[in-house]
Amino acid sequence: MAPLRGRVVVVTGASGGVGRAVVRELGAQGAKVALIARGTAGLGAAAVDVGVEGGTGQVYEADVADYEQVRAAAERIEKEMGPISVWINTAFSSVFAKFTDISPDEYERTTAVTYLGYVWGTKVALDLMRPRNAGAIVQTGSALSHRGIPLQSAYCGAKHAIKGFTESVRTELMADRSNVRVTLVQLPAVNTPQFDWVLSKLRRHPQPVPPIYQPEVAARAIVYAAMHPERKEYWVGTSTVATLLAQRIAPALVDRYLARTGTQSQVTDEKAPTGVANLWEPADESTDYGAHGSFDDRSHARSPQVWLSQRRRPILLGLAGGAAAAAVAALRRARRA
């Protein structure tokens, strides 16, 4: 485990949702957190959260879809806070709609933020980390990077692209015998403001596909990955495990299931929200949305699967040791008989 106390950690999308929960967790670890996002109110409140938790937070406004803005922010961070040890990409935006209802401009903008934002963040981080031969990059992924669903073609396409991009970069670093690590954390449905501020063309209010997890579950897993970046990929939540395994075993069956249930499972009975959309402009420029969305009463605050996954080696060793001890005991009994 690499301690994060006093180390500089960059988080994109830091003003709300999963990114907001991540910076709080980093603050509790005593990290020096550089917060990148667009929304002034959300960023300012996030910096306060980091300080309250025991860390140091500093704000850097930037649109991750713009490479030059990301690069300039990173240069300022290194000058003002010190060498970047960890870079965590969480920023995204999207459109809730059928593919045929999304305009080319909306699709291009979603891809620029949600996919290219990760590419630019990774490129900037590697330009700084590779000469030092040290550092870690954590990509916030999704079960939807393996399995596309209705109404989220732009988001699913971007998450699939992030997975392929990350695998390519990871193997290049391995080939170079670099000590810079890149890891991917695949998340389940999370209760974030995403469902209140992402552009929606649906008649009813969008919702995460149940089961839903609180953003703190995701944040703890992401920070753990930052401290243990040697693993290629982390899966968070039993629903993520089930989705990825089902996709491997019976993808055509999953297609038919989602065709029947995928649309209904993503909407509530409430009318769609109006007047807020963060695709082109930040939704939290003057209003702080925080980490949580509208589904606190239906969200899980813990995930036993994550606990087990993070401790799989000692658990397996313990099971193997127990089996060996049982075998020795059985052999002794057999000899006495």
Contacts (Cβ under 8 Å, ≥6 apart) of 170: 182, 232
Kind of pairing between the strands at 267-271 and 204-206: antiparallel
Q: Which of 78, 32, 80 is nearest to 55 (CA)?
A: 32
Residue 159 has pLDDT above 90, yes or no: yes
Token reading at 164 = 């392929």
Residue 273 has pLDDT above 80, yes or no: no
CA–CA dist 181, 284 (Å, integer):
32
Above pLDDT 70, what percent of the chain? 90
Question: For residues 137-152, b (16+ Cβ closer than 10 Å) or e, as one string?
Answer: bbbbbbbbbbbbbbbb
Token reading at 92 = 């995204």
**Three-state DSSP state, 82:** coil
User: Looking at residue 116, what DSSP letter applies?
Assistant: I
Above pLDDT 90, what percent of the chain? 82
Q: Which of 227, 70, 63 is nearest to 136 (CA)?
A: 227
pLDDT at res. 332: 60
CA–CA dist 182, 173 (Å, integer):
9
pLDDT at res. 92: 96
pLDDT at res. 179: 97
Q: What are phi and psi of 41, to 5 degrees?
A: -65, -45
Mean per-residue pLDDT, 212-234: 96
CA distances from 262 to 106, 258, 266, 281 (A): 22, 4, 7, 29
> Could you count the other beta carbons within 10 Å of the beta carbon of residue 56?
17
> pLDDT digits over 282-330, tens only?
988 888 999 999 999 999 988 777 667 776 665 545 544 444 444 445 5
Token reading at 136 = 């870690």
Give 3-state DSSP helix, strand, coil % of the chain, rounded to 5: 50, 20, 30
Q: Tokens 């998340």 label which residue? A: 187
CA–CA dist 2, 24 (Å, integer):
18
Strand partners, 234: 185
Sign of the torsion formed by the C-alpha atoms of 58, 62, 64 and 66: negative
